[in-house]
């Protein structure tokens, strides 16, 4: 027994909306990252992609921590989380730009 095409219209709309939403999220992530690919959990700082069979979680955690530290430094230097700067010397005033915040002493 054939199915009238009108019954398939809602499914077509749902599939189209999934596509529109996925494309929109991909574009927004690209804009937020400055046009660079998003950093994933499965990649290391040097660009190696790990498969689930070869994951060493301590090593991966250490590499992600180092990568986030470097990304925070880049954010403080350039103002963008994924931005990088090619100067071999930090700009003036960066020596006072410490990521560690100290509490004032109670006297």
| Model confidence pLDDT, tens digit, residues 42-92 | 444 555 665 555 556 666 666 777 777 777 777 878 877 777 777 778 777
Is there a domain that residue 71 lies in? yes
Is there a domain that residue 27 lies in? yes
Is there a domain that residue 12 lies in? yes
- Number of structural domains in the chain: 2
Structural domain boundaries enclosing 26: 8-36
Q: Are residues 29 and 50 in the same domain?
A: no
Q: Are residues 74 and 46 in the same domain?
A: yes
Is there a domain that residue 90 lies in? no
Q: What is the pLDDT of residues 14-29, one digit of tens each?
A: 999 999 999 999 888 8
Q: Are residues 55 and 77 in the same domain?
A: yes
Q: Are residues 43 and 67 in the same domain?
A: yes
Q: Are residues 23 and 46 in the same domain?
A: no
Tokens standing for residue 15: 């599939």
Report which of residues 14 and 33 the model is more confident about: 14
Task: Note the pTM of the prediction, 2 decimals.
Answer: 0.49
Q: Are residues 16 and 43 in the same domain?
A: no
Is there a domain that residue 59 lies in? yes
Backbone angles phi, psi at 49, to 5 degrees: -95, 125
> With b meaning 16 or more CB within 10 Å and e meaning fewer, what string describes 42-75?
ebebeeeebeeeeeeeeeeeebeeeeeeebebbe
Q: Are residues 31 and 43 in the same domain?
A: no
Report which of residues 69 and 11 the model is more confident about: 11
């Amino acid at each position: 027994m054939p199915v009238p095409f009108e019954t398939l219209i809602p499914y077509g709309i749902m599939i189209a909306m999934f596509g529109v939403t996925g494309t929109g999220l991909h574009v927004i992530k690209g804009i937020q990252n400055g046009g660079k690919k998003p950093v994933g959990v499965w990649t290391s700082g040097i660009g190696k992609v790990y498969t689930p069979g070869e994951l060493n979680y301590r090593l991966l955690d250490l590499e992600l921590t180092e990568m986030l530290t470097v990304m925070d430094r880049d954010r403080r230097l350039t103002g963008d989380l994924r931005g990088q700067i090619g100067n071999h010397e930090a700009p003036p005033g960066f020596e006072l730009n410490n990521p560690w915040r100290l509490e004032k002493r109670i006297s």
